[in-house]
Structure 1
Amino acid sequence: MMLRYFIRPFACPRIKLARGLSFSKEVPLIVEPEGYSHLLGSVVPLDVSWHMPNASRDSRAEFKKRRIPRARFMSLDEVAGEHPLSLPHMMPSPSLFATTCKRLGISPGTHVVLYDTIGVFSSPRALFMFKAFGHKKVSIMNGGMPNWEYASLPVDERVFEPVDYPEPELSTNWLRNYEDMKVNATAAPSESNNHELVLDARAAPRFHGTAPEPRPGLPSGHIPYSISLPFDILLETVTTGNGSQFTRLRNTKELYEIIARAIGSDAPLQPGSKVRIVNTCGSGMTAAIIWLALQRLGVNSALYDESWMGYAARPESIIATTT
């Protein structure tokens, strides 16, 4: 099957984002290291670093060496639900989520600040998880641990005690499953009222089917009628004085322009839009970066939890390419 998407020229209108944002000043969606440091005594920083299997990095070991003061560590592969295809880091059960939070000294009223050691990579996925379970006070650190160190802020170690975290309720409307995606794969947006706008965070060559998937045995390509939106174009790379680099989320104007250009319209980004959006990627990790960018613009969206690993592994799946 061959699908081609034609994107018309896009002229960004004057953007008024404040109206679409509902995040309180007390609990911002994104915090900068300099603005966060004075809150050290009232929030819980949580290292949620995750790396691709071929990265040869040990997140837990790195956490033990250096971390933000009072930080705890949460493994997204360990806090994960069981899946019939044995896929990693799927959404956990409410019980597992609550038990993990108790162990980490996090209560439902705790303001949690999530960060990772790449900059912005796995922290949006963790933010999505907390939000889906109804945890109100949660933010991410823009630029993560590298940005913290870039700002010359201190690292520290401290012992913490477990607290109570009652089992929450998972907001299932935040997630999509395979049956939901089959609907999107069999009808064009103009032909079905049930169709959702599907944004794919993988690299464009994998989306188009011109480059192999990093996971053996999986074909490349994409869900029919989905749109390529590689997660890395939503991020900017900062180079420090010693030559190291980290990523951080772009500003709202840039995010608006990038997403609207990829979609071919700014309609889904407007207040009151009825267009439903679902994000996908390779394994459900970087799809949360698109989700975060949309949240930054005041746009709600869902996440296809199993993503391409689950979709492409099923022989009955319809796979589109542009080759």
Structure 2
Amino acid sequence: MSTSSSVPLLLTPQQVHSLQGNKLSLLDASWFMPNSPRQPQQEFLAKRIKGAQFLDLDVVASHHEMGLKHMMPQERVFADACANFGIEHDSHVVIYDTHGIFSAPRALFMFRTFGHYNSSVLDGGLPAWLAEGLPVESGPTARVTPTEYPTPTLRIDALRSYDQIVANSSIEPTANANADLVLDARSRGRYLGIDPEPRPGLSSGHIPRSLSLPFNMFLQEKEGVDGMKYTTFLPPADVHNALKEAIGAERADLVLKGVLPVTTTCGSGMTAGVLWLGLKILGVERLSIYDEASFFRSLSCI
């Protein structure tokens, strides 16, 4: 399997198109907020990149006692999903979504945290693919021959549990403190608690000592062929500037030097993946996502 440094995190539509036929596995990981009327699987059947399969992040997930969705799956759940997609341990998995950049980074985080480093995100997703005039298809997907995907090893250091975040919230993150800098990917209004949460029953506000870095600060908006807006990542230099604007130049420098570890979070762990990917693009290695998977919570207490 390829190492994390040898496979690009982001690929353009033309780069992905050039890979077709070379053990490429395309996954549509589109996901929408609970209050959205859009149906990702119906949209997938109506239009998708030719040869793609649908990855439901709410299905390939751990079963949480609180009903939380898209938490990190157990090793065998992930492996079985890959096997059913026909993915082999050396397949190049390219993930996209219909927003452009939204849920695909979370799926990439899952693959790479399970050691499948031969994986990338299609920058701009399906809208960028359509803008390039590349082939699409519709209707039911073709039957896939399952593979024998080996049980992977989860990188525990890439995740933070509830108990770890609670303990971390009592410590001011500095160069000399044993604490993560927690970055909140939600909108500024949700971070401040002045805008309502999209999920009923959730309290407003933010984790103590966390900082606000709305995920769209790392993105730029473009217009698709149908007039609909979609997003792509900003150039790395602009991502760096957005990081400095949100957390200050001194903290940003400590993060980039690996002195200050970072945990990204959001409402459910989805857009935290956008921050994770943006920071990975900048070369940040001491990086995790707050993920309240029930099996991980038990492991963190051992």
Q: Same fold (TM over 0.5)?
A: yes
Please state how far the C-alpha of 1:117 moved relative to its aligned partner. Answer: 0.8
| Distance of 2:261 and 2:215 partners within structure 1 | 19
Q: Does 1:35 align with 2:15?
A: yes
| Distance of 1:139 and 1:183 partners within structure 2 | 33
Worse-matched range after superposition: 81-90 or 110-119: 81-90
| Distance of 1:190 and 1:134 partners within structure 2 | 30
Please state how far the C-alpha of 1:184 moved relative to its aligned partner. Answer: 2.2
In the TM superposition, what whole-angstrom CA distance separates every residue of 1:154-196 from its partner, at most 9, and x where no partner exists? 1136443211101111111100001111122212225972211
> Which residue of structure 1 aligns with residue 38 of structure 2?
57
> Which residue of structure 2 aligns with residue 304 of structure 1?
290
* CA 1:191–1:71: 2 relative to 1, 3 Å: closer
Work out which of the residue numbers 249, 270, 273 in structure 2 matches 1:288: 273
> Which residue of structure 2 aligns with residue 143 of structure 1?
124
Partner AA of 1:33 in structure 2: P
Work out which of the residue numbers 144, 153, 157 in structure 1 matches 2:134: 153
> Which residue of structure 2 aligns with residue 233 of structure 1?
217
Q: How does 1:158-307 map to 2 (within 5 A)?
A: 158-190=142-174, 193-265=177-249, 266-271=252-257, 273-300=258-285, 301-306=287-292
| Distance of 1:270 and 1:94 partners within structure 2 | 30
| Distance of 1:290 and 1:251 partners within structure 2 | 14
Q: Which has the larger radius of gyration?
A: 1
Unaligned 5+ segments in structure 2 are 294-302
SS in 1 for 2:264: strand
In the TM superposition, what whole-angstrom CA distance separates every residue of 1:105-144 from its partner, at most 9, and x where no partner exists? 0111110000011110000000000011000200000000
| Distance of 2:291 and 2:101 partners within structure 1 | 19
Partner AA of 2:9 in structure 1: L
Please state how far the C-alpha of 1:84 moved relative to its aligned partner. Answer: 2.7
SS in 2 for 1:288: helix
Residues 260 and 269, structure 1, Cα contact 8 Å, conserved in 2:
no
Residues 40 and 69, structure 1, Cα contact 8 Å, conserved in 2:
no
Please state how far the C-alpha of 1:240 moved relative to its aligned partner. Answer: 2.7
> Which residue of structure 1 aligns with residue 296 of structure 2?
none
Residues 183 and 194, structure 1, Cα contact 8 Å, conserved in 2:
no
TM score, norm. by length of structure 2: 0.90
| Distance of 2:181 and 2:14 partners within structure 1 | 36
| Percent identity of equivalent pairs | 43
| Distance of 1:153 and 1:275 partners within structure 2 | 42
TM score, norm. by length of structure 1: 0.84
Residues 184 and 224, structure 1, Cα contact 8 Å, conserved in 2:
no
Partner AA of 1:171 in structure 2: R
Worse-matched range after superposition: 230-239 or 184-193: 184-193
Aligned CA-pair RMSD? 1.7
Partner AA of 1:149 in structure 2: L
> Which residue of structure 2 aligns with residue 319 of structure 1?
none
Residues 150 and 240, structure 1, Cα contact 8 Å, conserved in 2:
yes
Unaligned 5+ segments in structure 1 are 1-21, 308-323
Q: Does 1:78 align with 2:59?
A: yes
Work out which of the residue numbers 5, 19, 23 in structure 1 matches 2:5: 23
Partner AA of 2:237 in structure 1: K
| Distance of 1:124 and 1:63 partners within structure 2 | 18
